[in-house]
Structure 1
Amino acid sequence: MSTKARWLLAFQLFLAATIIQVHALTPPGFTNIDCGFVDGESYTDSTTNLTYVPDHEFVEGGTHHEVVPKLISGSTDEQEKTLRSFPDGQRNCYTIPSTSGKKYLIRTTFTYGNYDGLRSSENGSLFLFGLHIGVNFWTTVNLTKQDSSDTIWKEVLTVAPDEFIYVCLVNFGSGTPFISALELRQLDDPMYPFLNLFVSVSYFTRMRFGAVDDFITRYPTDLFDRFWEAAQCYSYPWLNLTTNQTVNKLPGNDNFQVPTLIVQKASTINSGFSWLNISITAGDNLNGQSLELLPIFHFAEIEKNRPNRTFQIYSDGNELHQAFSPSYLQVDSVYLRDRYLHESGTTFTLCKTNSSELPPLINAFEAYSLVRMENLTTDTIDVSSMKQVKTQYNVQRRSWNGDPCSPKEYTWEGVKCNYYDGKQNPRIILVNLSASRLSGWINPSFRNMSLEILDLSHNNLSGTIPYNQVNSLKSLNLSYNQLIGSVPDYLFKRYKAGKPKEHDDYDMYEEENPLHSDTRRFTYTELRTITNNFQSIIGNGGFGTVYHGILGNGEEVAVKVLRETSRALSKDFLPEVQTLSKVHHKNLVTFLGYCLNKKCLALVYDFMSRGNLQEVLRGGQDYSLSWEERLHIALDAAQGLEYLHESCTPAIVHRDVKTANILLDENLVAMISDFGLSRSYTPAHTHISTIAAGTVGYLDPEYHATFQLTVKADVYSFGIVLLEIITGQPSVLVDPEPVHLPNWVRQKIARGSIHDAVDSRLMHQYDATSVQSVIDLAMNCVGNVSIDRPSMTEIVIKLKECLLAGTGKKQLVSGSYKQKDAMDAGIARQFQLLISGVPIVSNECISGGITELSYYSGSSTVEQVGA
């Protein structure tokens, strides 16, 4: 062999070894995706030496973009330079290979960088979208009023339900979803023992203490690439400890595997002090009312010749952990087992005991918020079958990504599923691919599913009809294709047998099992008798028709019958009946019973002779409500909503509060009606996986943008009702051009006085102070930020005060409604880790600058301690 040949061979071997070495730098179980990257097969990140790949193999749809270069001119992070946006479709999902049952850390990164030239994050408009982990809501990405150069990241710890994990971006209608990077890291099996298929946790904060040079510690120091922020508490009375000796795990404890480098450092305080606080607060990127927090403390005694160090841990004064002494050169992790803190933020106090010679010490701290994995994924057989169908026929339907059946509101187009009341994984029972330009043979995967209806008509399918029998199949449409051969015998027999002719007698369609023993059940025949064959219509809406009826004892009733289209979506009918049968209040319309028939679903209520408030307010000049009557009606309605919010367990959000749903009896007593959209609500679980529902003009803009439902959505709608009561105007005025009622009121007052906004039919017969108070209350109710709106209890108190003032009676001091002050508004910032105490110590320890803090999802400051 020539010298040149030997040199070339050596070079090739060296090059091959180098390539193997580079790729080996990415550990098993790591997936690093640069979203929107299109300039090559892969690259090695200069900071971590991890290999990043483009995202085209993991996602369908979307468009790739580059951010404005000058906004990231100083950045060494390649993932910030490109992104993929999703202007089309409500849900777009990445599909990442995984190992079923394994635990993973998943991180998503977002750098807007004004890629579209619209300055969407800085122009003041809402700019937010949602994230789903698998088929469950994970969190909201909120870029509203963020600097275009800022980078936000989200992180979740979860268990893979199958051989892949979906990470989905959900369009809320408030800005185009996009993503810059997506990273997956497999965790060891013993880690984070509270994780399971039904429980995931979302990152809240993760801090390391002691003297640390880098603001962020990550891979390779942390083998699982967790981000640890430096507390950077270097000012008196803080003391930082360091050891070069090995700090071991406690025997048999692999729960968290905090890196050795991190637990070799710690922070404590001068011996003249006895306690320190760690305060965490939800900010703009989290709905604080929905949080269930899990704090994790990591301690290791690293001080030589140590005297006794014992301390207790409290959360807002409640003891979490009794007297605790860190083990010498052994890390001990302390966390709440099977318990979460139902707080939007809390203060943890580490306080030394009376017998302790040294103050508290801390090495590291983590906090997570609970993500409930309540929605079940579609049966794996069906998922696999639909993937094969999609691949063979190259189906290009926008909705065909992510899970086919779950969540329900994102079911694939042309697919219907059986959800089995949430007790087992959904199965696909209908596939409609009619007129979908399919060609080739009929995919055999259909026979693996539990299909009841399969429509492949009006395509260009060829070959023979599969002879494999599908016992569940009730309807098969293969017309207008190019199929050949004979019809399978089992299909021919079914065709000849036909279906039994539907019987006109509705009684044969009565469901066998009653729904609720305490609530009367009406048959269809009874309803037909009560309503005189449904002759007298007293109301109409998208849900169906309301008829007047008379019971055998002469009692008048209203019968609401669901439309055909409503019955197709009647999954909420039974829970609604169960809810209504349990709520009883003088200002809620009385629920008398229901009809549960396969061809007729109906609800029966007390009849309200004066109709609804909308009709009365705009019913002409023959009769006009006085100011006192209007206040009484407002108070009645408010008390009904207060009962739903405060006295029901769990609380109920009505979701469709409007004047048309406030009914009046003959004495003008108001009652809330129409609970078809109502949902149960707990402060710890506000993410209702539904499209924002309600009526135009009354719909809370925050709920419409975020899908994060709270009782404050009803408060917003009630604010519109108050303005209608005051003005006599509809929620949206259309002449000479459309204008929302709150804006109309503002314009009237700005150009004149409150009298210009008040209903002229009142003829100035009202107390101006009372009217002004109600206007102020209504405007507070319709504030854009839900946390600043009053509760229904506060509204009831204020309306009682206004009623007394408006009728000339002496005002009773039973409490008053107060606006939140400016300090409360300041809480809704990014996450904070605050160590606070006596005010005489200066607060000089601040972790990093604004840009660095925004990159890591929340600001972190370290301040004072306590004596």
Structure 2
Amino acid sequence: MVAKPWLLLTCLAAAATAGVLQARAQPDSIGFISIDCGLPGTAGYVDDTTKLSTVPDAGFTDTGSNHNISAEYITQVPSRRYHNVRSFPDGARNCYTLRSLVAGFKYLVRAAFIYGNYDGLGQLPIFDLYIGVNFWGMVNVSSPDGYEVMEAIVVVPDDFVQVCLVNTGTGTPFISLLDLRPLKNSLYPQANAMQGLVLLGRTNFGPGTDGVRYPDDPHDRVWYPWIDAATYDVISTTEKVRNIDNDLFEAPSKVMQTAITPRNATRGIYFYWDSKPQPKDPTPQYTAVMHFSELQLLPNNSVREFSIHINGELWSPGGITPDYLRSNAAYSDVPLPAGSARYNVTINATANSTLPPFINGVEVFSIISTTNAGTYSQDVSAITAIKTKYRVQKNWRGDPCGPKSFAWDGLTCSYGVSIPPKITGVNISFSGLDGDISSSFANFKAIRYLNLSYNNLTGSIPDVISQLPSLTVLDLTGNQLSGSIPSGLLKRVEEGSLNLQYGNNPNLCTDAESCKPPKGKSKHAVYIAVPVVLIVVIGLLAALFFCFMRRKRQGSTTNTVKPQNETPATHPQSSLQLENRQFTYRELEVITNKFERVLGQGGFGKVYSGSLADGTPVAVKLRSQTSNQGVKEFLAEAQILTRIHHKNLVSMIGYCKDGHHMGLVYEYMSEGTLHEQIAGNGSSRRCLTWTQRLRIALESAQGLEYLHRGCNPPLIHRDVKATNILLNEKLEAKIADFGLSKTFNHDSGMQVSTYSLVGTHGYLDPEYYATQKPTTKSDVYSFGVVLLELVTGKPAIVRDPEPTNIIDWARRRLARGNIEGVVDARMHGNYDVNSVWKVTDIALKCTMQASSQRPSMTEVVGQLHECLQLEEVHTGDAATGSFYTGTSRDPNSGYNAYAADGAQSIGAHQSSTTAFEMEHDIGRELRMDTGPVAR
């Protein structure tokens, strides 16, 4: 470990002058930002001590609330700036944004915290502090009147920097003041684009009661005095101490005008600092800067030379002989070895020295990584403009994509190594957006998925949207858009590169021609035209009816652009009016070969393997005479399956209501249930790949979304679970078992009044359990459990070793920040970790205790679509089709999902501490009283 005296550093180039920095910073004339957090109103004031302009924080953050500290602590704080605080009881992350900076320049950022029992609770909080997307440190105020000051020196990558307070579950974050000071880029070379410096302590050795700061220190660093008069003498001067050329630290003259030296000339100077480990930085690394200036004009025969050791290792390069009235410093480019509980510093005279050593000042910093990149600046500008325009009320605070655990709801981002994340998906459906579609959406050059459905957007679709190079899905369903769809979008739809959904926009046209109103006609022409038009209309209606019936018989489809998510036709529910084939009980006997092969069994009855006359395999669910699920459940499932049609819902081929015999005939799903496949009990006996799991998740979600948004009236499944998701030979997923489903009403908050609790243990929404009123968010909760099963490979109830809900099991392990401890080990790490993190995050959001905090199935579908794209990029396989690897087609593969699982389903009844310490006598230590220094 070699330190470099400034005497040797004469070759370093000077950076831009402070004047340039001051001219481009804000808000005051010298480039400083001084914020009194929690100060109400818009008027600032001039600080009595520094004479610096101080402003309220309303212009820097839009969350939190203002409070005054308790009256009993007002007289104990050193400045008016500590009389109030801003606290942040809502949201996991709340941020201040400091703007008008210079990208790539170096800044000192300082935050201070005095609790002062502002909330009357007497509970000292602990929370985290971030600078941008990088962890800064943990704030842990030791007493109601105790100070905690956090100071960092960082290079800012953009023309702004954010300071974020993060709630860690141990109290409400708050802040008293926030400062920013520009620095020359040449200062503190240990701080660069890859790492920042966090102040542990800064000491001015010498007498005094107040710290040295602005204007004595033009950079407004705070230097706290220390002297032990029993052990050390003070050396001082009234002469100005000047900085050397290309000074790397620019210690102020007032600090350098005092120094301490041992009273006993044979002794050295001793001090130390203790390491301050944190949960997110258990082995911090430190670097020190020691400041020296000779204050005495020495006679020719006198020599003052000394060396520095830290933990017994030589830290300085040989002997140090400071210049007279010139600031010198010893520092190291290389951090001190990590892992020491204490760092002992000794400064001793060398053998050549005739005078004892001295020291004027010292700074100690821990090193933080700043390698995490914030979101691509163009994307930040775009999403911020969108947030402002539409007044989006979500967790949209801080950086949009980073850190990953704080990414904004509704956004999907791409993450790379040492490159800024980019926004690849925006899902702000059902968000109350109004006005036109913002042109800012066109600035997302990496966006692949854009969902603006079910808002109140008006006006036309901007043509620039069609120029987004990566866009593959655009959902505009359920707005009030008008005009024609841009030709660029229609062309991309025809080419197959874009999935466009625009249903329920009454005034939206597919082309400019169809939007033109009919030209005016004379009254005479109208009289003549009316009979002709009537004849033509009748003819067209007859032709349309003929085509409709023909299409219904042939099941034909077209590739033309058409509105998506249209409401399907409904059937009266007063009686069974089924279009599907009706079977007699005798025909069921023939189909199943007298019910020879049982596929599964549940509360409704057994499910049998069968085959139609044309060889089509089917599954036949036959109601048992002893079943506790009777005619009501049978009619419910039959009616539902008759009127719903979606590729991710199991199709009903026919039904039987022959006397007391009741049965349903389904399409055959050869690969059984998702539960069996996750457990490795499927026909192939192989572990599902992560890509297969993602596709199954997406397809299942699409089925549920259709029930919630595409049916009329909409449906709540009420028993979503892994055994009710079936897989065909291509491992395509379909939702099954609708006997417990209920309709719901959009106008009544999507709730169903019911006094019967149904569902399955481990999947049951706790809010539904408490209120007995299911909502669509009840299905979302259950689906979140299914997602966790797909990620972990474990059942909904984990034996660990006691029965534990998979949600709690996963949350405990994810709290350690290690996704590998949660993911199914049988996948052997063959997955994109970003994709896994995202799915896990979706699952945890789906299983939030409060239903209002859960996403909709529409949002889930959008996010899973992005996850699948991430994985396909990771694997290099973006081809369509399945990844099925099994070969067996055992017709006996489990089929319990075709019947409500009676065994598991729930039925109807049911610091002010000091950074440095001086050591002057063996066994006796004195703590320096430095006031509000960082930890």
**Fold shared by both chains (TM-score > 0.5):** yes
Q: 1:109 and 2:77 equivalent?
A: no
Can you list the C-alpha shifts for 1:47-101, whole angstroms capped at 9, x where unaligned?
2111111111100111111110111224351111111111110010100112212
Q: 1:495 and 2:489 equivalent?
A: no
> Which of 72-81 and 386-395 deviates more?
72-81
Task: Give the Cα–Cα distance (whole angstroms) in 1 for the partners of residues 199 and 912 of structure 2.
Answer: 16
Q: 1:856 and 2:933 equivalent?
A: yes
Q: 1:28 and 2:30 equivalent?
A: yes
The one-letter code of the counterpart of 2:204 is: R
Q: 1:316 and 2:317 equivalent?
A: no
Aligned-residue CA RMSD (Å)? 4.3
Can you list the C-alpha shifts for 1:159-216, whole angstroms capped at 9, x where unaligned?
1211111000000011000111111111122211222222111111101112x22242
Indicate which of 350, 354, 371 corresponds to 2:347.
Answer: 350
User: What secondary structure is seen at the aligned counterpart in 2 of 1:493?
Assistant: helix
User: What secondary structure is seen at the aligned counterpart in 2 of 1:834?
Assistant: strand
Corresponding residue for residue 484 of structure 2 = 486
The one-letter code of the counterpart of 1:153 is: V
User: What secondary structure is seen at the aligned counterpart in 2 of 1:835?
Assistant: strand
User: What secondary structure is seen at the aligned counterpart in 2 of 1:362?
Assistant: coil
Q: Does the 8 Å CA contact 2:201/2:933 hold for their aligned counterparts?
A: no
User: What secondary structure is seen at the aligned counterpart in 2 of 1:545?
Assistant: helix
Corresponding residue for residue 437 of structure 1 = 432
Q: Which of the pair has more CA radius of gyration? A: 2
Q: Does the 8 Å CA contact 1:283/1:831 hold for their aligned counterparts?
A: no
The one-letter code of the counterpart of 2:110 is: R
Question: Post-superposition shift, 1:108?
Answer: 0.6
Q: Does the 8 Å CA contact 1:103/1:187 hold for their aligned counterparts?
A: yes
User: What secondary structure is seen at the aligned counterpart in 1 of 2:317?
Assistant: strand
Task: Give the Cα–Cα distance (whole angstroms) in 2 for the partners of residues 24 and 433 of structure 1.
Answer: 34
Corresponding residue for residue 241 of structure 1 = 235
Corresponding residue for residue 52 of structure 1 = 54
Q: Does the 8 Å CA contact 2:914/2:933 hold for their aligned counterparts?
A: no
Structure 1 residues 111-510: aligned runs within 5 Å: 111-121=114-124, 127-143=125-141, 146-210=142-206, 212-236=207-231, 238-252=232-246, 254-283=247-276, 289-305=282-298, 307-323=302-318, 324-343=320-339, 344-397=341-394, 399-419=395-415, 421-450=416-445, 451-468=447-464, 469-498=467-496
Task: Give the Cα–Cα distance (whole angstroms) in 2 for the partners of residues 427 and 657 of structure 1.
Answer: 27
> Which of 160-169 and 73-82 deviates more?
73-82
Q: Does the 8 Å CA contact 2:672/2:682 hold for their aligned counterparts?
A: no
Can you list the C-alpha shifts for 1:456-481, whole angstroms capped at 9, x where unaligned?
22222222211122222111122222
Question: Post-superposition shift, 1:274?
Answer: 3.4
The one-letter code of the counterpart of 1:489 is: S
- Evaluate the alpha carbon distance shift between residue 286 and residue 256 of structure 1 in structure 2; reply closer, same or farther with a 3 A threshold: farther
Q: Does the 8 Å CA contact 2:227/2:260 hold for their aligned counterparts?
A: no
Task: Give the Cα–Cα distance (whole angstroms) in 2 for the partners of residues 829 and 31 of structure 1.
Answer: 24
Q: 1:81 and 2:164 equivalent?
A: no
Corresponding residue for residue 718 of structure 1 = none
User: What secondary structure is seen at the aligned counterpart in 2 of 1:101?
Assistant: coil
- Evaluate the alpha carbon distance shift between residue 566 and residue 559 of structure 1 in structure 2; reply closer, same or farther with a 3 A threshold: closer
Question: Post-superposition shift, 1:269?
Answer: 0.8
Task: Give the Cα–Cα distance (whole angstroms) in 1 for the partners of residues 927 and 493 of structure 2.
Answer: 77
Question: Post-superposition shift, 1:102?
Answer: 1.8
User: What secondary structure is seen at the aligned counterpart in 1 of 2:150?
Assistant: strand
Can you list the C-alpha shifts for 1:780-809, whole angstroms capped at 9, x where unaligned?
xxxxxxxxxxxxxxxxxxxxxxxxxxxxxx
The one-letter code of the counterpart of 1:547 is: G
Q: Does the 8 Å CA contact 1:562/1:602 hold for their aligned counterparts?
A: no
Can you list the C-alpha shifts for 1:14-41, whole angstroms capped at 9, x where unaligned?
xxxxxxxxx9995522011111101551
Corresponding residue for residue 68 of structure 1 = 70
Structure 1 residues 779-798: aligned runs within 5 Å: none
Structure 1 residues 665-676: aligned runs within 5 Å: none
Task: Give the Cα–Cα distance (whole angstroms) in 1 for the partners of residues 240 and 32 of structure 2.
Answer: 27
> Which of 27-36 and 305-314 deviates more?
305-314
Can you list the C-alpha shifts for 1:724-762, whole angstroms capped at 9, x where unaligned?
xxxxxxxxxxxxxxxxxxxxxxxxxxxxxxxxxxxxxxx
Q: 1:836 and 2:836 equivalent?
A: no
Corresponding residue for residue 522 of structure 1 = none
- Evaluate the alpha carbon distance shift between residue 54 and residue 434 of structure 1 in structure 2; reply closer, same or farther with a 3 A threshold: same
Q: Does the 8 Å CA contact 1:655/1:679 hold for their aligned counterparts?
A: no
Question: Post-superposition shift, 1:294?
Answer: 0.7
Task: Give the Cα–Cα distance (whole angstroms) in 1 for the partners of residues 138 and 731 of structure 2.
Answer: 39
Q: Does the 8 Å CA contact 1:141/1:285 hold for their aligned counterparts?
A: no
Question: Post-superposition shift, 1:364?
Answer: 0.6
Question: Post-superposition shift, 1:655?
Answer: 8.1
Structure 1 residues 648-727: aligned runs within 5 Å: none
Task: Give the Cα–Cα distance (whole angstroms) in 1 for the partners of residues 120 and 127 of structure 2.
Answer: 19
Task: Give the Cα–Cα distance (whole angstroms) in 2 for the partners of residues 367 and 500 of structure 1.
Answer: 56
Structure 1 residues 562-577: aligned runs within 5 Å: 564=693
The one-letter code of the counterpart of 1:149 is: D
- Evaluate the alpha carbon distance shift between residue 493 and residue 83 of structure 1 in structure 2; reply closer, same or farther with a 3 A threshold: same
Corresponding residue for residue 650 of structure 2 = none
Structure 1 residues 592-607: aligned runs within 5 Å: none
Question: Post-superposition shift, 1:431?
Answer: 1.0
Can you list the C-alpha shifts for 1:815-856, whole angstroms capped at 9, x where unaligned?
xxxxxxxxxxxxx9944412225428x76x6543xxx63x33
Q: Does the 8 Å CA contact 1:653/1:678 hold for their aligned counterparts?
A: no
Q: Does the 8 Å CA contact 2:474/2:498 hold for their aligned counterparts?
A: no
Task: Give the Cα–Cα distance (whole angstroms) in 2 for the partners of residues 32 and 677 of structure 1.
Answer: 50
Indicate which of 680, 683, 691 corresponds to 1:547.
Answer: 680
Can you list the C-alpha shifts for 1:227-283, whole angstroms capped at 9, x where unaligned?
1111222213x111012223222223x211100111111111135323222210134
- Evaluate the alpha carbon distance shift between residue 386 and residue 500 of structure 1 in structure 2; reply closer, same or farther with a 3 A threshold: closer
Corresponding residue for residue 822 of structure 1 = none
The one-letter code of the counterpart of 2:205 is: F
Q: Does the 8 Å CA contact 1:559/1:602 hold for their aligned counterparts?
A: no
The one-letter code of the counterpart of 2:197 is: V
The one-letter code of the counterpart of 1:162 is: D
- Evaluate the alpha carbon distance shift between residue 267 and residue 428 of structure 1 in structure 2; reply closer, same or farther with a 3 A threshold: same
Q: How many residues align?
A: 562
- Evaluate the alpha carbon distance shift between residue 568 and residue 203 of structure 1 in structure 2; reply closer, same or farther with a 3 A threshold: farther
Task: Give the Cα–Cα distance (whole angstroms) in 2 for the partners of residues 599 and 480 of structure 1.
Answer: 28
The one-letter code of the counterpart of 2:291 is: H
Task: Give the Cα–Cα distance (whole angstroms) in 2 for the partners of residues 49 and 247 of structure 1.
Answer: 24
Task: Give the Cα–Cα distance (whole angstroms) in 1 for the partners of residues 63 and 326 of structure 2.
Answer: 50
User: Gaps (5+ residues) in structure 2?
Assistant: 1-24, 500-669, 699-729, 734-786, 804-815, 834-839, 845-910
The one-letter code of the counterpart of 2:315 is: L
Length-normalised TM-score, structure 1:
0.58
User: What secondary structure is seen at the aligned counterpart in 2 of 1:295?
Assistant: strand
Task: Give the Cα–Cα distance (whole angstroms) in 1 for the partners of residues 105 and 934 of structure 2.
Answer: 26
The one-letter code of the counterpart of 1:165 is: V
Question: Post-superposition shift, 1:677?
Answer: 14
- Evaluate the alpha carbon distance shift between residue 567 and residue 174 of structure 1 in structure 2; reply closer, same or farther with a 3 A threshold: farther
- Evaluate the alpha carbon distance shift between residue 831 and residue 447 of structure 1 in structure 2; reply closer, same or farther with a 3 A threshold: same
The one-letter code of the counterpart of 1:107 is: R
The one-letter code of the counterpart of 2:306 is: F
Task: Give the Cα–Cα distance (whole angstroms) in 1 for the partners of residues 800 and 252 of structure 2.
Answer: 64
- Evaluate the alpha carbon distance shift between residue 84 and residue 564 of structure 1 in structure 2; reply closer, same or farther with a 3 A threshold: farther
Q: Does the 8 Å CA contact 1:294/1:341 hold for their aligned counterparts?
A: no
Task: Give the Cα–Cα distance (whole angstroms) in 2 for the partners of residues 598 and 330 of structure 1.
Answer: 77
